[in-house]
A and B are shown apart, each in its own frame.
Chain A
Amino acid sequence: MSQKIITANNLGDGLVVFLDASGGWTTEIAESRIIGTGELDEALAYAKAQHDAQIVVEPYEIDVELHPDAGIPVPLRLRERIRAAKGPTVAYGEAELAERAALPTAASASR
């Protein structure tokens, strides 16, 4: 059965954050607060207040499943999995060049 957590973007650096159990915001989805049954309205109201207090931007709830072994929440939607991964699903910048250089076929085809 799916559970819910709350996410937003940080106001200052725009990074993806999740509401944690202490009422703060974390970039680690593993540290996010799993919203218990009947607690969603309260949690959203709190998050909205954090938006109004200019801490985060536009919080909303997402559906997650708890990873069977690690117990870490895994978002159901790909969009949220990509956000939780803190970056694109592809290598970028210098890392992309390095990754391509490591591919023997790509190196010879690159010209």
Chain B
Amino acid sequence: MYRYDEFDHDFVQARVAQFRDQVERRVGGELTEDQFKPLRLQNGVYLQLHAYMLRIAVPYGTLNGRQMRRLADIARRYDRGYGHFTTRQNLQFNWPKLSDIPDILSELAEVEMHAIQTSGNCIRNVTADHFAGAAADEVDDPRPYAEILRQWSSLHPEFLFLPRKFKVAVTGADRDRAAIQVHDIGLQLKRDAAGRIGFAVYVGGGQGRTPMVAKKIRDFLPEEDLLSYCEAILRVYNLSGRRDNKYKARIKILVHETGAEEITRQVEEEWERIKDGVLRLPAEEVERIRAYFALPADLAPRAADPSLAASRAADPDFDAFVARNTHPHRVPGHVSVTVSLKAIGGTPGDATADQMDAVAAIAERFGHDEIRVSHEQNLILPHVAETDLRAVYDGLVAAELATANAGFITDIIACPGLDYCALANARSIPVAQRISQRFGDIARQREIGDLKIKISGCINACGHHHVGHIGILGVEKKGEEFYQISLGGSGDENAAIGEIIGRGFSTEEIVDAVETLVDTYLAHRSRPEESFLDTYRRLGQAPFKEALYGAA
């Protein structure tokens, strides 16, 4: 993985020292909250319902064991023994004291981590496919480009005060596991006919109050032009994006109001001006960054493990885990393992300090010291030999991390909601927990197959409800929590925004409503292989609506 150079080290340390001074002045009474708030936000510090919250960047979701142990250590010493992995591949601590945060940041800096640009109207942490560098179906590893983008966007003086926050995602495969079409810029790595690397460029996707699927504005951008083209997009946005209305300030609104064609024209025009300037990526520099992300040297192809089949046959739980929580690897004899943070009835994305340590230990021993955070709020061990699967599984069972539900109905994304978040209208976590319990039986989950439920506690959509096959949005109605259901959303290569099905449901009704939808799907699917989403796309809302609300 990427290692800080001297410049990175100095930069992060200087930032910690600067923030330490700001915190001291705040606690000492020299800075008012109005003065301090933008400063703390630039360092990932929020004030939530119960306490301060610190959001730590995990660039493109990649961590090693040492970093994960450090997070565990911080959770234990400065927080309440756990952390929350988010849909932006970040980690949030829910209970840090303000005066401890400079120490936390300085301990993070020792392991090359920070909280810079995890908040505020700047270019946020760049996200990537969680199977990057491992997936069998990958064109190439997206992380070197995510890292190049990170370096370019870190403290980029021109883009620190954008009209609004700005999110970039990169995928390296045709199968989009990074939800690039609901990002401000989405990049899909591809090769042209000559085998050269480049990107399809999507702009103006996003969720929140006004969800939009991004527009593709370029089918093939050569690798060397990555930064100049992104800079051109950001310039057009920075200049013309609305600053008069926070709710209309994202680039998606600009693209929508101006039209994709005109935006493309403006971007291309600006790009023509700058493309042969300093931002052109030298091939040697790309190679240098790429070397950091090379496959581990000792990750050699292995023959298939004959004992695996026997071991699976002898243990149905292990078999279910292997069937569901492993993903094909590009090196024979290996897989990527999904470590589910979705225990039945648990809080989606939460991990205790002991669990973090356990994952670190397993990764160090069996996973070439690599861990990923997925935007679906799970952890990934990207490189595991099939011969080690049993040992990895046993280790995960011991840490209560072996729920065999990746991609199933209980693999729910949920934002913190009204249990933690100051902006929330309704709770997300208890709804996720109750749905998870209702469908906890593994045979039933298998029967239902792939189904993504995503829950947000307000219209900001941190829980990605717009792209859930079943999306649930919490609202407040006359002082009560209410939940609005949308169907047919998807964050993959066939991205779609879900459509609201009808009136909302009370806390008491919502789990039954989900069950009704699932039963309707099971009754209507053309064959067991037809997924919930495909069935919905074939039939539309009608049968689901009727099942929920009765015949019109």
A-to-B contact residues, CB < 8 Å: 9, 11-16, 51-54, 57-58, 76-79, 82-83, 86-90, 92-94, 96-97, 100, 103, 105-106, 109-111
Can you show 25 pairs from A to B with CB atoms below 8 A apart? Answer: A14-B52, A14-B97, A15-B50, A16-B49, A16-B50, A53-B29, A54-B28, A54-B29, A57-B47, A58-B33, A78-B481, A79-B424, A82-B419, A87-B50, A90-B430, A93-B352, A94-B352, A96-B350, A100-B346, A103-B345, A109-B344, A109-B440, A110-B402, A111-B397, A111-B403
Q: Report A-chain residues with C-beta under 8 Å of the C-beta of B442.
A: 109, 111
Q: Could you tell me the distance between the alpha carbons of A53 and B27 in the complex, rounded to whole angstroms?
A: 10
Partner of A106, one of B28, B49, B82, B437: B437
Name 12 extra pairs, CB < 8 A, besides A13-B98, A110-B344: A9-B47, A11-B98, A14-B50, A14-B52, A54-B29, A76-B479, A83-B50, A96-B346, A97-B400, A105-B437, A105-B440, A106-B345
Q: Interface size bucket, B side?
A: 35 or more
Which 8 residue pairs spanning A and B have beta carbons closest together? A88-B419, A93-B82, A109-B440, A14-B52, A14-B51, A54-B29, A111-B317, A93-B81
B-to-A contact residues, CB < 8 Å: 26-29, 32-33, 47-52, 80-82, 94, 97-99, 317, 320-321, 343-347, 350, 352, 354, 397, 400, 402-404, 418-420, 424, 427, 429-430, 433, 437, 440-442, 479-481
A51 and B437 contact, Cβ closer than 8 Å, known pairs A97-B400, A110-B400: no
Q: Report A-chain residues with C-beta under 8 Å of the C-beta of B81.
A: 93-94
B344, B404, B427 pick with most chain A CB within 10 angstroms: B344
Q: Is A14's CB under 8 angstroms from B344's CB?
A: no
Q: Could you tell me the distance between the alpha carbons of A15 and B96 in the complex, rounded to whole angstroms?
A: 10
Q: Report B-chain residues with C-beta under 8 Å of the C-beta of A96.
A: 82, 346-347, 350
Q: Is A90's CB under 8 angstroms from B419's CB?
A: yes
A83 and B49 contact, Cβ closer than 8 Å, known pairs A12-B99, A92-B80: yes
Q: How many A-B residue pairs have CB under 8 A?
A: 113
Q: Could you tell me the distance between the alpha carbons of A76 and B429 in the complex, rounded to whole angstroms?
A: 21
Q: Could you tell me the distance between the alpha carbons of A104 and B490 in the complex, rounded to whole angstroms?
A: 35
Q: Is B97's CB under 8 angstroms from A12's CB?
A: yes
CB of A78 to closest CB in B, whole Å: 7
CB of A53 to closest CB in B, whole Å: 7
Q: Is A92's CB under 8 angstroms from B82's CB?
A: yes
Q: Is A12's CB under 8 angstroms from B98's CB?
A: yes
Q: Is A14's CB under 8 angstroms from B80's CB?
A: no
CB of A64 to closest CB in B, whole Å: 13
Residue of A with least CB distance to B83: A93
Q: Could you tell me the distance between the alpha carbons of A89 and B420 in the complex, rounded to whole angstroms?
A: 9
